[in-house]
Amino acid sequence: MLVSAIFVTLGLQSSVVALVSPDGTGRLPAMGWNSWNEYSCNINEDVFVTVAKQLVNLGLKDLGYQYVNIDDCWSDKQRRRDPATKELIPDSKKFPRGISHTAELIHSLGLKLGIYSDAGWYSIRSDAFSRAVHD
């Protein structure tokens, strides 16, 4: 069993190069960096700016990483949506200068910002933050 596991591993390692087609398809990461697995809901502006700087400093931007993605838990769970625009309201404790400011900082590093939302009633954490739009 160990021999076949090593064989498969070695086989995968040698085929990684083949996953990139001659036209470059497969060279870039599908989404860039996403906050959920590392931070869950323990996020704030500093997390994203620090990660963006690390993507640049470690040379990952030069390798094709383009996106810093804000996953769940960025919106204000009490106020939910702006009554006039119906847009989600960022959590002012996590993003005191707003998501736009965070985006400006990340864009200044030559990266793009992605953000999670949900068209349904609940987010990943089962927060009913989008319910206000359905009521």
pLDDT tens per residue across all 135 residues of the chain = 444 333 334 444 444 444 677 887 776 656 589 999 999 999 999 999 999 999 999 999 998 899 999 999 999 888 888 999 988 899 999 999 999 999 999 999 999 999 988 776 666 665 544 444 433
Domain that holds residue 59: 50-135
Residue 18 maps to a domain: no
The rounded distance, in Å, linking the Cα atoms of 52 and 1 is 42
pLDDT of residue 27: 67
Query: 127 vs 75, 76, 93, 135, CA distance in Å?
Result: 10, 10, 17, 15
Residue 37 maps to a domain: no
What is the domain count for the chain? Answer: 1
Closest by CA to 48, choosing from 95, 97, 110, 118, is 95
Residue 26 maps to a domain: no
Residue 73 maps to a domain: yes
Alpha carbon of residue 73 to chain centroid: 12
Residue 99 maps to a domain: yes
pTM: 0.70
Residue 44 maps to a domain: no
